[in-house]
Structure 1
Amino acid sequence: MNKKMYWLYLFVAIIFEVIGTTAMKWSNGLTNIRGTIVMFVCYGLSFTSLAVALKGIDISIAYAIWSGLGIVCITFIGLFLFHEMMSVKKIVGIAFVIVGVVLLKTN
């Protein structure tokens, strides 16, 4: 498989992870059946895509990027969709995550 395809699988894994985590919030502690189903399906697809990506990307790089970009995306979803508060500490923390992901990708 082409090296770019592994990165595409990683990107798909991140998208499904973010949707799954958002659905986890909507599931209201697994009491909302739609949110719960979406969560489980998306997490399954995320881990499946991540497993394929790991065939061509080092696990230390892939997992850090998967979790780091997931954190950044979920932070913005929490801010705009769920109206969660943003503090200076959160902003600085997210900036560090972004810098870390960039450093890993440019390795």
Structure 2
Amino acid sequence: MNYTENYRGIKIDVQSVNLDISEAVQAEIRGSIDKLSRFTNVINAVDIYFKNEGQGASANRIVGMRVGIPGPDVFSEEKGDNWISLLKAVTDKNVRQLQKGK
């Protein structure tokens, strides 16, 4: 499932291979954008990808997020079990990168 959304003037592009993104995860994506917006007011776009890696008990979920800002973009990726907690983790990593860039 891939979808694009314009949220508060920020283009959000979500890519997920063979996965459906629930409304709860979509709401968390918007919350992540709100959090990132507190640290910079010039976000042009946010690209997020969700993917499963491996199979069975050793399967990992991966979430990556690229925040398009003037100058170099910030990017982070996290592996784990829960989509929402992974999304929060990559958001926090990107916030730290934005704070370093100021």
Taking structure 1 as the reference length, the TM-score comes to 0.28
Larger Rg: 1
Taking structure 2 as the reference length, the TM-score comes to 0.29
By percentage of residues, which structure has more helix?
A: 1
Q: Which structure would you say has the larger RCO, counting Cα contacts within 8 Å and 6 or more residues apart?
A: 1
